[in-house]
Structure 1
Amino acid sequence: MTTLTETTQTTGTTVATTLRAHQLVIGGRLAFVEDWGDIDATPLLALHTAGQSGVQYAHVAADLAALGYRVIVPDFPGHGRSEPSAHGPVTDLGEYAQFALTVLDQLGIDRFVAVGCSIGGKITIDLAVRAGTRIRAAVAMAAGADAGHVSVRGLTRELNDISTPSRSDRTYWGTRAVVGSAVSEERRSVIARMHCREDPIVSNSDLIGWGRHDVSAGLPDIACPTILVAGEDDLWIDAEAVRRDAESIPRGSFTFLPGIGHYPMEEMSDFASQVDAWVRTLETGDEETETTRS
């Protein structure tokens, strides 16, 4: 089942683009998906971070559509406007990867570009392994291929008392701490406040998945051109480890973002044009293995 609502959105000087909103039934539950731009344009799957939703791409989806992409932005199960999974909060990021492929299947999309951040970045790497020739190019931000460095035991224990009054404060200040130094104070505060809308049980479950998910063994088998992206001010990842992951991918490359933290799509005013440049570089077979954005 799919329901569509069509509206016209204009972002700044961006040309008007069409937003289609879908409700898909996946695993017996409703899944919400935004679908921006020309239906015949290059499909670009945009994947959000732990505990958040597709709203993280609200300021960039129309710009990407204006650059010639059909931008597919799903809310993972239990996030945003998607209903929870039938078995409760998800702790296996592979389940989200399969969910994303099911979204594309139901929309009749075969080959696609994948862009994701944090758990969305790790899921993007998973898709590069899992989806084979379906995936045209992959851009994985703020993520590596191996199990993330979190305390799964501690996160599991926190599920028992996670809705304490201090939780929203921890989310707010923790988010601010990993937004890049190039971002204005006003924008930093908006990003942090938006993140406070998370369901803490879902967020912790996502992070448990981050701490368990390891697709590093599959890196040599990735066929599509892939770029791994790390921000200079991202305190949650090891940029050198991400660089090494990129070197393990046959057509992999690494990009370092000065002054940017854990959320490039929310921090970078030129994010859409930068993604377009990355994708075009990947698809034209650029053999350069490392770039630095000035």
Structure 2
Amino acid sequence: MAITGGYVMVNGIKTYYETNNGPHNPKGTIVCLHTAGRESRQYHGMMEIFADKYNMVAFDMPAHGKTWPLPGNVGIGDYKEYGKFVWDFIQVMNIEDPIIIGCSVGGNMVYHIAETYPVKAMVSMQGSPKIKAMGTAYGTTVDLLDNPYVSCQHSHWDFSESLCGKKCPPEAHDFIMWGVCQECGRAKKADLSIYNNYDVTAELGQITCPCLLIRGEDDWNVPEHYYHTAMEGMTNAKKVVFEKVPGYGHFIIVEAPEVVCELIDNFLQDT
């Protein structure tokens, strides 16, 4: 298998990353942002598919996976600090012309990053520039995620499972749910603190790079009108493409990596 990992220091944090050692395509290197509470292994399927076409780099945010936490054993709970950490990682890795892709909270964050930093292109999956808090995973529940009497894993099991699409293969489902078992309450709290009432719509006009928006239609948590809000605001983007994928859900990068890779490849070929 071509995937290899390593560590770099980013702002004093020992940060774990993985790469598929793919060719340095002139379109740029693909930098991958994981979903809330999870880590870079979510991109293994895509890394394997793209091994001979694109260089991909996925890394664990602070307090996630194999990356060390911030001082005090916490994650990043502010979206501007999150975006800066991502960009600082890109600089440390000497990545030129980064193509930023993300899913869930990562899919939200790529909007802010594209608004703020010079990326070559962005791909948002199951993300939005504006999230209205809803459901049991938000509000006061976020405050309880690192409470000693609350199990992050058990309290999010049914919620995460409800986000999977009906076409999700059994092995992908098992991996997604194993991710729930491994979640750290403090890391999840940091991510959902960003996710809860996230809103960067006022700056959407600052995005000039090509943008691809992908929606697994079985994801009830990110309704289609969120995507239309984004498209309406990105008036200065070089191009905006919206793709809907029936049968798959919130964890589309794990549920259907081959579908996502085809959409991204087609998008980049025309970019």
TM (normalized to structure 2)? 0.88
User: Structure 1 residue 160: deviation in Å?
Assistant: 5.4
User: Structure 1 residue 50: deviation in Å?
Assistant: 0.5
Aligned mates of 1:269, 1:128 — CA distance in 2:
23
SS of match in other structure, 1:59: helix
Contact 1:27 1:86 in 2 (8 A): no
Instruction: Name the structure 2 match of 1:177.
Output: 162
Aligned mates of 1:35, 1:186 — CA distance in 2:
22
- More relative contact order, 1 or 2 (CA 8 Å, 6+ apart): 2
Aligned mates of 1:143, 1:97 — CA distance in 2:
15
Contact 2:15 2:68 in 1 (8 A): yes
Give 1:138's aligned amino acid.
M
Q: Which has the larger radius of gyration?
A: 1
The equivalent position to 1:72 in structure 2, one of 57, 60, 74, is 57
- Superposition map of 1:212-251 within 5 A: 212-250=197-235, 251=239
Instruction: Name the structure 1 match of 2:264.
Output: 275
Instruction: Name the structure 1 match of 2:112.
Output: 126
Instruction: Name the structure 1 match of 2:249.
Output: 261
User: Structure 1 residue 77: deviation in Å?
Assistant: 0.5
RMSD over aligned Cα atoms: 2.0
User: Structure 1 residue 164: deviation in Å?
Assistant: 2.9
User: Structure 1 residue 187: deviation in Å?
Assistant: 3.1
Instruction: Name the structure 2 match of 1:84.
Output: 69
Give 1:130's aligned amino acid.
T
Please, which runs of 5 or more residues in structure 2 have no aligned partner? none
Please, which runs of 5 or more residues in structure 1 have no aligned partner? 1-8, 10-16, 284-294
Aligned mates of 2:257, 2:207 — CA distance in 1:
30
- Superposition map of 1:1-294 within 5 A: 9=1, 17=2, 19-38=3-22, 40-41=24-25, 42-66=28-52, 68-86=53-71, 88-131=74-117, 134-150=118-134, 153-159=139-145, 161=147, 164-165=150-151, 167-250=152-235, 251-270=239-258, 271-281=260-270, 283=271
Deviates more, 1:207-216 or 1:167-176: 167-176
Give 1:90's aligned amino acid.
I
User: Structure 1 residue 40: deviation in Å?
Assistant: 3.0
Aligned mates of 1:50, 1:189 — CA distance in 2:
17
Contact 1:97 1:127 in 2 (8 A): yes
Give 2:216's aligned amino acid.
G
Contact 1:93 1:119 in 2 (8 A): no
Q: How many residues align?
A: 262
SS of match in other structure, 1:69: coil
Aligned mates of 1:228, 1:171 — CA distance in 2:
26
C-alpha spacing 1:162/1:226, structure 2 compared with 1 (3 Å): farther
SS of match in other structure, 2:55: strand
User: Structure 1 residue 205: deviation in Å?
Assistant: 1.9
SS of match in other structure, 2:67: coil
Aligned mates of 1:54, 1:262 — CA distance in 2:
16
Contact 1:94 1:123 in 2 (8 A): no
Give 1:211's aligned amino acid.
N
Flag the structure with higher strand content.
1
